[in-house]
Structure 1
């Protein structure tokens, strides 16, 4: 994705360019990318919606975050072919658990053979469903509240705040929540009239989510220009 140069206090800062992103991948990400993740990334490349997948630098960031907090129990909303799911499964303990929710089993099955070969399928509970009903069902059982260490959200952007309102109850105090695609291909800074009609609800949802989560005093956050934008939240109470 190409971003124009920005100026901060008069100093030019390159937020990101395709060339800079490629440099980052080639020098810092691909040399450390596990073979299973590389295989899944390459298997996903031929999919008609390959751009849905989390970018490898986001996968690397997730791996570090998971290890920093010693995450064991996680939840993922939006799975696609499973790149971020596999990244999580590779970086939690053998007795770790991931609840993974997505209505598209066909896309998930692209990654299943690779996940099985990596030996981490036993950590995954895949639920074929829209996410909100599953989250509401989980919250009906009070024992689920505060029981998750980590959450990753990469689904329909116009529902991000609805997901946030539920997931923050599931993640423990001190746990982390990551939201992907929070720059939405640069559409967040484009005039709405210049954005394709079908993308406008997702653009608005992304912008409104960002405003809402920034105002949410239950979290400490960092919004970074990695991949297509990532907001990382730590639950404070």
Structure 2
């Protein structure tokens, strides 16, 4: 099953996708392989960004002029593929994930798309991998789609490593609407983070009703 916004009916989701550039064969095959994996019980479809969200990530990467990017939570690599495609040829993307099986799928599709040389994958706990990075402005763009209770810590760790004017993108910040009535620790963590970011003077902040909620943070 292809991931889609919980705010859209299946028919409207199809319409939205039909009104944009269609996914190429690489994206279509990656979505299909991921769907087969999740149908077999390996992860959930919501671990993967929706195709229209991937297209938005490519566009955001290009229009922001990002050269160096970092991703926390890679899964089978669609979001990383989207970001890498938006980078210039001399740019690079650092991916942090803890699961070799899923990211082995990602590596195959990055190679097939011709962007593998732009992507570096490091496996381990994201918090530890982030902490090991130099504390200096390095990245122009960051995408976070990992454990929800870790988001606040990731934002704090990324901030000093982002260039002024850099863009942080946080996925799943509506939690299928459960931010209004949190049911578990993930919901509560995201609801609390949304409240905190709305008054955080480190960033210009907007939460967009895209897919499962997409928060954009521009470093001031």
Q: Above 0.5 in TM-score?
A: yes
Unaligned runs of 5+ in 1: 4-15
CA offset digits 1:49-95 (Å, max 9, x no partner): 22210111211111111111211100000000000000111111112
Superposed displacement of residue 100, structure 1: 0.3
Q: Which residue of 2 aligns with 1:103?
A: 98
| Aligned partner of residue 86 in structure 2, secondary structure | coil
The answer (yes or no) to whether the contact 1:99–1:124 under 8 Å persists in 2 is: yes
Superposed displacement of residue 45, structure 1: 1.1
Q: Which residue of 1 aligns with 2:169?
A: 178
Question: Match for 1:214 among 195, 198, 203?
Answer: 198
| Aligned partner of residue 94 in structure 2, secondary structure | strand
Residues 103-122 of structure 1: pairs in structure 2 closer than 5 A:
103-122=98-117
Distance 2:25 2:137 in 1: 33
Superposed displacement of residue 168, structure 1: 1.3
Q: Which residue of 2 aligns with 1:43?
A: 33
Change (3 A) 1:66 1:2: closer
- Aligned-residue CA RMSD (Å): 1.5
Question: Match for 1:61 among 56, 59, 76?
Answer: 56
Question: Match for 1:25 among 8, 17, 20?
Answer: 17
Matched, 1:232 2:216: yes
| Aligned partner of residue 25 in structure 1, secondary structure | helix
CA offset digits 1:9-28 (Å, max 9, x no partner): xxxxxxx4443223212222
| Aligned partner of residue 143 in structure 2, secondary structure | strand
Q: Which residue of 2 aligns with 1:205?
A: 189
The answer (yes or no) to whether the contact 1:37–1:87 under 8 Å persists in 2 is: no
Matched, 1:81 2:76: yes
How many equivalent residue pairs? 211
Matched, 1:150 2:141: yes
Highest CA radius of gyration, 1 or 2?
A: 1
The answer (yes or no) to whether the contact 2:6–2:211 under 8 Å persists in 1 is: no
Distance 1:109 1:118 in 2: 15
